Amino acid sequence: LTEGNYTYITQKCWDYFVDLMRNVTTAELCEWKVISRPYSELQGCLESWADHLNYNYPNALAEQYIFQSHHRYFHNCTLEHPVYFDPPEDVLLAMIIAPICLIPFLVTLVIWRSKDGKAQA
């Protein structure tokens, strides 16, 4: 009985998701800020009704609807790799010069501490 109820309700969750996606243009299908609400509504509906009916979540039926949403709406979306840019010249210069200036200071400090240690012995 629970599985039959859940099957009926998940179809209603899907219908609601499809209705929300009617407002999304083709150009917006891969924009998370646009599709996050309908997608979250679908996932929330599937999960909350499973919880309400004491049905396991995630489950095969819920996963089927999630996969169906990806196949139908988001199959052309790819994960964009972040594009890295060089830092501004002044930051780059500071990152290069800082270690170069630090090396003589550390060498001097080590020599000074080693001489100070010998004088005490």
**Same domain assignment for residues 11 and 63:** yes
**Same domain assignment for residues 4 and 35:** yes
**Same domain assignment for residues 17 and 62:** yes
pLDDT tens track for 21-51? 999 999 899 999 999 999 999 999 999 999 9
Instruction: Look at residue 108 and tell me if it is in a domain.
Output: yes
Domain total in the chain: 2
Instruction: Look at residue 11 and tell me if it is in a domain.
Output: yes
Using pLDDT thresholds of 50, 70 and 90, give the confidence band for residue 84: low
What CATH number is associated with residue 18?
1.10.150.510
Which tokens go with 20?
């929300």
Range of the domain at 18: 1-74
The C-alpha atoms of residue 7 and residue 38 are separated, in whole angstroms, by 20
- Claim: this prediction has a pTM higher than 0.95: no
Cβ-Cβ contacts under 8 Å for 62 (sequence gap 6 or more) = 10, 46, 47, 50
